[in-house]
């Protein structure tokens, strides 16, 4: 009798009486089913955990190598940082101080006047401390003059004794409407439209360094804000 005949003639109520080869077949089949189920529900998740751990190991190795290189060069980095801080202090020291700021703003206004520029608006705004070591002061302005007059103005500001930094924000430079219509301005800077009269309008910001008391106050306020935010 063949194996398949044995399968067809099995007595489900007499498993003990099954032929040996049939018993062996079903035993192997049960073992395979157990192995498949174990692989799906136990071995595969463990394999995924192993692969994740191996990937994390590679990441940690790369991070370790990077940090080890940084530690080896730590002294050089610290010296470079100190040099940069010293250079920064020297640069900041060239900016005007708090007491020099009013005189500086006046000097900027007078530089525009000496350059022949007509100043229609020159309105300094309140200061704002930035980064704990400098303060910026916005100035709203509207000036009228020629291209060469504005060039002379910038040159005059650049030649002031103190380092003057002017950054422009939302500034528009356009042909002056009144000059374009040929109307004469009552100022010395008035010129015919052919001279290329321009209007400069917007906000510029100038900067000064904070003294030690102001730096201490800034740090105290920052620490207070951080403490309030952490509660």
Q: Which of 10-14, 18-22, 57-61, 181-185 has the highest mean pLDDT?
A: 57-61
Residues 211 and 121 in one domain: yes
pLDDT at residue 195, as a whole number: 54
Question: How many Cβ atoms sit within 10 Å of the Cβ of residue 101?
Answer: 19
Q: What is the CATH number of the domain that holds 146?
A: 3.30.70.60
pLDDT exceeds 50 at position 142: yes
Residue 66 within any structural domain of the chain: yes
CA dihedral 76, 80, 81, 83 (to 10 degrees): 140
pLDDT at residue 182, as a whole number: 44
Residue 230 within any structural domain of the chain: no
What confidence tens digit (pLDDT) does each residue in 166-203 have? 788 888 888 876 544 444 454 444 444 445 899 989 99
- Tell me the residue range of the domain where 20 lies: 1-72
Residue 19 within any structural domain of the chain: yes
Domain count, the chain: 2
User: For residue 115, what pLDDT band results from cuts at 50, 70 and 90?
Assistant: very high
pLDDT at residue 123, as a whole number: 92
């Amino acid at each position: 009798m063949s194996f398949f005949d044995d399968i067809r003639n099995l007595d489900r109520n007499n498993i003990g009486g099954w032929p040996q080869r049939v018993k062996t077949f079903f035993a192997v089949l049960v073992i395979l089913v157990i192995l498949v189920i174990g692989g799906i529900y136990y071995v595969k998740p463990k394999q995924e955990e192993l692969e994740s751990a191996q990937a994390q190991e590679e990441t940690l190795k790369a991070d370790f190598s990077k940090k080890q290189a940084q530690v080896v060069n730590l002294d050089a980095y610290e010296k470079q940082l100190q040099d940069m801080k010293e250079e920064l202090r020297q640069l900041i020291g060239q900016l005007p101080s708090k007491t020099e700021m009013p005189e500086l703003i006046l000097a900027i206004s007078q530089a525009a006047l000496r350059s022949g520029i007509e100043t229609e608006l020159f309105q300094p705004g309140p200061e704002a401390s930035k980064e704990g070591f400098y303060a910026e002061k916005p100035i709203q302005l509207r000036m009228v003059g020629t291209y060469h007059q504005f060039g002379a103005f910038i040159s005059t500001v650049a030649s002031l004794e103190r380092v003057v930094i002017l950054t422009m924000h939302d500034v528009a430079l356009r042909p002056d409407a009144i000059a374009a219509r040929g109307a004469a301005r009552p100022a010395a800077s008035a010129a015919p439209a052919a001279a290329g009269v321009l209007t400069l309008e917007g906000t510029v910001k100038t900067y000064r360094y904070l003294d030690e008391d102001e730096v201490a106050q800034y740090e105290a306020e920052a620490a207070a804000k951080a403490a309030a935010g952490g509660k």
